[in-house]
Amino acid sequence: MTRVLNWWQRLLAPARVQAPPVAAPATDYVDARDCGLVDAVQSGWFLNASDELFSGFPIGPQDVVLDVGCGAGGATLFCANRGAHVVFSDVVPEKIEALRQKLEQTPARAVEGLISDSSPLPLAAGYATRVIALEMLEHVDDPAAVLRELVRVGRPGALYLLAVPDPVGEHIQQGCAPAHYFQTPNHIHIFEREAFGQLVEDAGLVIERRASYGFYWSMWMMIYWSQLKASGEQQAGETHDVVHPPYSPLLDDWAGLWHRLIQMPEFSPVKQQLDRLMPKSQVIVARKPG
């Protein structure tokens, strides 16, 4: 789920992922992104059975979906596979072209790729029925202006799916991540929970649902930063790809442990509480009045 880890591209098979009845042995290798995908599905993402990108955010072939800051394009691909008209934007031209090629293999009704920073978007007012902005508002100079632009291009009644990093994990990472992780073009804003909600409402949207998820990724990031320091590696320069391989074996251990835990039905209430305590992301589903 995170932008820098590109785990969004690990889309689900036609049937919803189901946990096997017996947990995998401790010696089995689990890819961190695969574990993150199972964790995300349990948190309400990529619900194939109900065609919801996130719980409360359904996608159908009649929709015009705008995905700003699309990155690797996992959200766009999910919508394209539902036959929607998809519009995707990013500031990195290579990402737009790579995603355009992937979308050629989907039943999307129409495909539009835009190289844009969303200030403004080259779209007419009232263009989209679904607007997605996942883990991108923390990167832009003026989040309020970007949100107003997203509201402009949404039709009356359009649904919005908005996610930004949760402040709890961000504040902890400020003490262990390299300084440039919180500098342009990376995370230049930390949204406190109440302030994020106010930002959305001030843009003219009505909040329909709030959620949080991703304790797994919060811990993954903490382990990553600690092992980066332990290895003595110095990261220099400003880049979107702050997190990169090679990864410490401890991260494999963490992915394997969490994967086994979330396959246990008895662990579900614990996961829910941890996702509230220290989530990776806070999520808002909102609607444009009309």
Give kind and range of the element (H or E) at residue 88. Answer: strand 85-90
CATH number (domain holding residue 226)? 3.40.50.150
Count of Cβ atoms closer than 10 Å to residue 131 Cβ: 26
For residue 36, which of 262, 269, 250, 272 has the smallest C-alpha distance? 262
Q: Report if residue 1 sits inside a domain.
A: no
pLDDT by residue (tens digit) across 199-244?
A: 999 999 999 999 999 999 999 999 999 998 777 655 544 444 578 8
Count of Cβ atoms closer than 10 Å to residue 260 Cβ: 17
Whether 107 has a pLDDT exceeding 80, the answer reads: yes
Q: Report if residue 243 sits inside a domain.
A: yes
Pairing of strands 64-68, 85-90: parallel
pTM of the shown model: 0.88
pLDDT by residue (tens digit) across 188-210?
A: 999 999 999 999 999 999 999 99
Report the number of distinct structural domains present in the chain: 1
Q: Which amino acid is at 271?
A: K
9 or 185, which is more confident? 185
Q: Report if residue 262 sits inside a domain.
A: yes
Q: Report if residue 125 sits inside a domain.
A: yes
Which of left, alpha, beta for 77 (phi over 0: left; psi -120 to 50: alpha)?
alpha
Q: What pLDDT is attached to residue 9?
A: 42
pLDDT by residue (tens digit) across 33-52?
A: 999 999 999 999 999 999 99
Whether 5 has a pLDDT exceeding 90, the answer reads: no
Q: Report if residue 115 sits inside a domain.
A: yes
Q: Report if residue 18 sits inside a domain.
A: yes
Work out the average pLDDT over 242-253: 88
| Least trusted range by pLDDT, from 8-17, 228-237, 246-255, 267-276 | 8-17
Q: Which range of residues forms the domain containing residue 264?
A: 7-287
Q: Report if residue 212 sits inside a domain.
A: yes
Confidence band, pLDDT 50/70/90 cuts, at residue 27 = low
Distance CA 267, CA 64 (A): 38
Distance CA 170, CA 289 (A): 32
Whether 177 has a pLDDT exceeding 90, the answer reads: yes
In the block, residue with structure tokens 């291009």: 153
Q: Report if residue 2 sits inside a domain.
A: no
pLDDT by residue (tens digit) across 147-167?
A: 999 999 999 999 999 999 999
Q: What pLDDT is attached to residue 82?
A: 98
Q: What pLDDT is attached to residue 230?
A: 77
